[in-house]
Amino acid sequence: MPKTVALSGRCSPTPKGKRLVGMSMYSKGKAFVGAALLLDSQCASEPTDYVVLYLLCQGFEVTLKGLLLLRDYDRFEGRLQKPIGHNLVKLANSASKAFGIKPVSPALMNELAGVNSLYSSPTQFLRYGNEHDIPVDPRTVTRNRIFHRLAAVIRLAERELPKSDPYPARPPSAQLSPQRQNIPQ
């Protein structure tokens, strides 16, 4: 069982801790997107396509939230649950404003609104089986613009993040030896 630490009272992460939280979210978001792409390329069935849509939405949400935390942790940390929550449209608008980029195009906004209605609703249509599975064929839900825009965001972030990382990874010579990590050899 993994070891965990219980915290109580008020605490706030250090600047390095804030950076690590943002990077962790960003990295997990990229993994969700990668899983969606891999599954989409390997399987072509209606149930699988629901999962692809869910992974895409989850990846979009977690990637952008991670980037917002990296941009300004103190400003966004409390806003990511409410008022943004799982609403992909609100998240896209918040990210556009935070990074000073032009608003999402109407065509992309329509795609986002379409998947958002399935992803962020109280019934979580993409996550659970329900009566919407009958009339809604997930293969008809457009998502190409979302994939392409998210890929562009990730490419830009990958190019910019190393430049701004005040806490670079330790060089290989500074890594802990197996003895110091208490790893049996």
Domain spans, the chain: 17-161
Q: Cβ distance 140 to 118 under 8 Å?
A: no
Indicate the average pLDDT of the chain.
83
pLDDT tens-digit readout, 8-30: 777 788 999 999 999 999 999 99
List Cα–Cα distances, 145 to 73, 81, 114, 172, 183, in angstroms: 28, 25, 12, 39, 46
* pLDDT surpasses 60 at 173: no
* pLDDT surpasses 50 at 183: no
Share of the chain above pLDDT 70, in %: 82
Which pLDDT score, from 0 to 100, does residue 58 have? Answer: 96
Quick one: pLDDT band at residue 182, thresholds 50, 70, 90?
A: very low
Average pLDDT of 94-105?
91
Which pLDDT score, from 0 to 100, does residue 149 have? Answer: 93
How far apart are the C-alpha atoms of 101 and 111, rounded to whole Å? 19
Average pLDDT of 105-124?
87
Which pLDDT score, from 0 to 100, does residue 169 have? Answer: 55
Q: What is the dihedral of CA 135, 138, 139, 141, to 10 degrees?
A: 100
